[in-house]
Structure 1
Amino acid sequence: MRRGFLAFDRNTLSVAIATCAMLLATGSAHALDATDRAAIKAEIGKRHDESLKRLQDWIALPSIAAENRNSKEGAEYMARLAREAGFQEVEIVQTDGKPGVFATLDAGAKKTVGLYFMYDVKQFDPAEWSSPPLEAKLVDKPGIGKAVVGRGAVNQKGPEAAFLAALHAIKGAGKKMPVNLVLVAEGEEEIGSPHIGQVALKPEVQKALKKTVGVFMPSATQDLDGIVTVSLGAKGVVELELVSSGEKWGRGPSKDVHSSLKAMVDSPAWHLVKALDTLVSADGNTITIENYPKPTPISAEEKAMIATAIARKSEAQAKKQLGVAHWIDDLPWLEANERLESQPTVNIEGLVGGYTGPGGKTVLPHRAVAKIDMRLVPGMTLKDAVAALKAHLAKKGFGDIEVNVSGGYDPTQTAASAPLIEAQVTVLKRAGIDPVLWPRNAGSYPGYVFTDAPLKLASGHFGLGHGSGAHAPDEYYVIESSNPKVEGLDGAVMSFVDYLYELGK
């Protein structure tokens, strides 16, 4: 009896040892050992100037969807960058708007990772910049280091160029890529990604994406204090224009007329202002659109996540960075952040009508436009928000006002337990960084196309490094950091190497 048990135990042990060895061999097939990591890191250093020039050249070609500027050229350049980085199959995908790019890199690996890139950038006025926005000059920033200043530097060409540099370094060091890659790039992110579905959900693209463990967007996630935030989602957005015109209204002039005639002629500009006033409360902070979709209440788990995160963040620094002295309703730091995460918004981006040049010009304009963005949180959809807005305006007597939606999408959310996210946390902790988990970005990106049906994938952002000024003058991305808490370009590149190998385990 005892001998039989011992014999069985030895056999079981032998099988277990063999099984564990096989599993370990399989699991570590793409693990990055110290020698390989050192070789890749050295290659990154050798290619620093090459990587920097790649970014500078990319910044010099602005693709601006809102201005119909360089979209064809931007897509072709994105395709070229993908090919040079090792993607074997690269296709420019035509849409009803600006073209996208679909590319695959087959490394013969067991796991596949999805990538989301944008090649477009926001508009800019060179007169507002201290360094020319397309020259991508290296500028000394006190307390930060040397940074590339240019439109798209951090949003999003800097981090994306750093990711491409990681692929060049792995190949240059003679190492095997740990994962296969599927790239989806678009040229309309800055106008609300109206045609991202025509790229990501194209049958062959969708088929490739379904093989992935998830999709991430290269980003620069380090704050100047070294804190790294791992966001689990993002708000949705609707971008639209509200247009009031004498022609459509049937009142007011059909062309600009002398302002003295206001005594007897209706004003489309005032008509628009009165319509805007019905959308929000008297302080502008609460949406009053009738039958507007209701957000899902913030959960106890999300509240706890926010409380933990803000305990590590400086309220004073946040106010200084934003140039504000008060939060809405003078809310305390915790409640202000809970509101940031849980509440939808209706924001006026700009009001345009009549004469806006120097001095005055006494006209009664025949047309006025409000540029609006509406942020959406879980429980809300673009379709329902737009339908409610149109019905509200009609009921309030403003049915003549045109509602021209230019882009937008639903909110997106990914679980903290998703392997895509867990790998981020692992890489960051290995680097000595204790990341902050955050329910969702208050800003937006079209992650819904990956996280919603039919794909239902995890989606997020990752990357060390720092930059700031997205959508603003003097946008920058750190190249050589003088701040020990922040990585420069080479450190950002290495973070992508580490992430890919972690995902490939």
Structure 2
Amino acid sequence: MSDAPSRRTLMTGAAAATLLAPGLAGAAAKAPARDADMAAIRKAAEAGYDASVKRIQDWIALPSIAAENRDMDKGADYMAALARDAGFTGVEKIATDGAPGVFGVLDVGARRWLAIYFMYDVKQYDPAEWSSPPLEARIVDKPGFGKVIVGRGAVNQKGPQASFLAALHAIRAAGKKPPVNLVLVCEGEEEIGSPHFRQIVTRPNVLAALKTCEGVIIPAGWQSPSNGGVSVNLGAKGVVEFELVASGEKWGRGPKTDIHSSEKARVDSPAWRLVQALTTLVTPDGNTPAVDGYFEKVRPLTAREKELIALAAQRMTEADAKKALGVDRWIDDLPWEKALERLASQPTINIEGLVSGYTGPGGKTVLPGRAVAKIDLRLVPNMTMDDAVAKIRAHLDKRGFNDVEIKVSGGYDPTETPEDSRLIRAQLASYKRLGAPATLYPRLAGSWPGTVFTSPPVSLPAGQFGLGHGSGAHAPNEYYVIESSNPKVQGLVGGTMSYVDLMYEIAKAK
């Protein structure tokens, strides 16, 4: 089903309510005023389709990359302009010790407030690995999906975020007001672990605005292509990113710079030093952290969490998961439900990359003076970033690796959100109304800085929401569906309307 206005007949009145999503034809009688609003907003979203597409493309064309300190001020200024254009007032760029953030409010005098989290930074990219230039945001036909925008940041997070902005434009174009007031909080360092985001959120005027809210959402586009299903996550793992560095200079052995490899016969190797340190961090198969005391704060899955995972195993398709990941087997050949339990419950120590010496074409026969491992940790309740790093430091020191440096670049603790919170109940109600099968899941295996919202002093429910589909985050050929050929999955307009629906659900939730 395409969402492009050129391929859809625009309808009015009660019939237009059927355009909102599958399964909505019978809902109009229950809430005629709401459905009349939704029909008018849908018509405006259809009319604004081209502008919405261009908004995504123009945003992709400006890559703010925190890891490279690239265009961070420009990215914040552009984010602020997008916010003002969508109707936010009091929009300001907030300085931090790192990249700036952006804050604004949209107060329409509604009874309730909802907070929205945006990030304007994206991951690095290598154009040689892409089928089309990553900043051109070309529209291409993707078999089985329809028309998609290909570009860095397409799904993580500019496509879904721009779809939320499109909802505000459509509401205004339809002559309506949002059913809730909004607080927008944005950062530019999510892709490096949000090291300064707390400075933005705890600024007095930002904190005061957040304290009025029912919860916080981050726009998402994760519908399953097989059944259109979505997950409602009751939390997310925390993350820590750091480098382990072994060098001849710090070690006092081996070369201080690269030397000829023939010298290995009599000179120590910092690269092998790093390898030896790394092998102590995990079990021999590399699958379980072996750091002293690493599991002492890990909270086991509760009975309710296990129940939710068992239900998820019935509703989610193992074959689809393996196909999406390009894997054939899980760790220890675990069955599907046990693999899901491990995904939700286990902390990890992962090697993102290893860098040492010469890595170009052919050989260079050097003995490197320095070796670096880029590491990320995923943390589960009740672990903390500071405690995990301290345990790794103590573990290495105890084994004589005092010289191996730990250089932390960013990270944050895990999050948890109550199942009975108004935010979660509204999400489930909205997905049900929109005909999207929703699976309540204990914990997102990935990470986002939701802990800044869920922990004191903010202490709000927080999570992801949105219809639509995209994939390839952090990878080449990242894409976001704008015209869906899959009747199970919404395109740009359907995704836009899902945010409108959630706002109405938040407004009326008891």
Query: Taking structure 1 as the reference length, what is the TM-score of the superposition?
Result: 0.93
> What amino acid sits opposite 1:36 in the alignment?
D
Counterpart mapping for 1:221-260 below 5 A: 221-225=222-226, 226-260=228-262
Quote the residue 1:497 is aligned against: 500
Which SS does the other structure have where 1:388 is aligned?
A: helix
Contact 1:31–1:504 (Cα < 8 Å) also in 2: no
Quote the residue 1:305 is aligned against: 308
> What amino acid sits opposite 2:277 in the alignment?
A
Quote the residue 2:134 is aligned against: 133
Which SS does the other structure have where 2:315 is aligned?
A: coil
Length, aligned pairs only: 476
Distance 1:123 1:176 in 2: 38
Alpha-carbon distance, 1:143 to partner: 1.0
Alpha-carbon distance, 1:216 to partner: 0.6
Which SS does the other structure have where 2:350 is aligned?
A: strand
Contact 1:305–1:437 (Cα < 8 Å) also in 2: yes
Quote the residue 1:80 is aligned against: 81
Distance 2:260 2:316 in 1: 54
Distance 1:147 1:66 in 2: 27
Contact 1:293–1:385 (Cα < 8 Å) also in 2: no
Question: How large is the Cα RMSD of the aligned pairs?
Answer: 1.0
Match for residue 284 of structure 1 among 278, 282, 286: 286
Counterpart mapping for 1:108-187 below 5 A: 108-187=109-188
Quote the residue 2:432 is aligned against: 429
Which 4+ stretches in 1 moved above 3 angstroms? none
Distance 2:56 2:266 in 1: 58
Counterpart mapping for 1:205-216 below 5 A: 205-216=206-217
Quote the residue 1:447 is aligned against: 450
Alpha-carbon distance, 1:227 to partner: 1.1
Tell me if 1:347 matches 2:350. Answer: yes
Quote the residue 2:468 is aligned against: 465
> What amino acid sits opposite 2:180 in the alignment?
V
Quote the residue 2:375 is aligned against: 372
Q: Percent identity?
A: 65
Specify every segment of 5 or more residues in structure 2 that has no aligned partner in the other structure, as ranges. 1-30
Quote the residue 1:51 is aligned against: 52
Counterpart mapping for 1:198-209 below 5 A: 198-209=199-210
Match for residue 364 of structure 2 among 361, 364, 368: 361
Distance 1:459 1:319 in 2: 28
Quote the residue 1:19 is aligned against: none
Tell me if 1:382 matches 2:385. Answer: yes
Once the two structures are superposed, what CA deviation does each residue of 1:290-315 show, in whole Å capped at 9, x if it has no partner? 12243101111111101101111221
Which SS does the other structure have where 1:346 is aligned?
A: strand
Distance 1:182 1:73 in 2: 22
Alpha-carbon distance, 1:32 to partner: 5.4
Distance 2:333 2:83 in 1: 48
Which SS does the other structure have where 2:293 is aligned?
A: coil
Quote the residue 1:402 is aligned against: 405
Specify every segment of 5 or more residues in structure 1 that has no aligned partner in the other structure, as ranges. 1-29
Distance 1:460 1:313 in 2: 20
Q: Which stretch has the larger CA shift, 235-244 or 105-114?
A: 105-114
Query: Taking structure 2 as the reference length, what is the TM-score of the superposition?
Result: 0.92
Distance 2:173 2:436 in 1: 28
Alpha-carbon distance, 1:34 to partner: 2.1
Contact 1:154–1:468 (Cα < 8 Å) also in 2: yes
Contact 1:31–1:502 (Cα < 8 Å) also in 2: no
> What amino acid sits opposite 2:250 in the alignment?
K
> What amino acid sits opposite 2:252 in the alignment?
G
> What amino acid sits opposite 1:465 in the alignment?
G
Which SS does the other structure have where 1:504 is aligned?
A: helix
Distance 1:113 1:427 in 2: 15
Distance 1:281 1:428 in 2: 41
> What amino acid sits opposite 1:118 in the alignment?
M
Quote the residue 1:27 is aligned against: none
Distance 1:434 1:374 in 2: 31
Which SS does the other structure have where 2:243 is aligned?
A: strand
Alpha-carbon distance, 1:221 to partner: 2.7
Match for residue 269 of structure 1 among 259, 262, 271: 271
Which SS does the other structure have where 1:76 is aligned?
A: helix
Distance 1:410 1:401 in 2: 24
Distance 1:139 1:232 in 2: 35
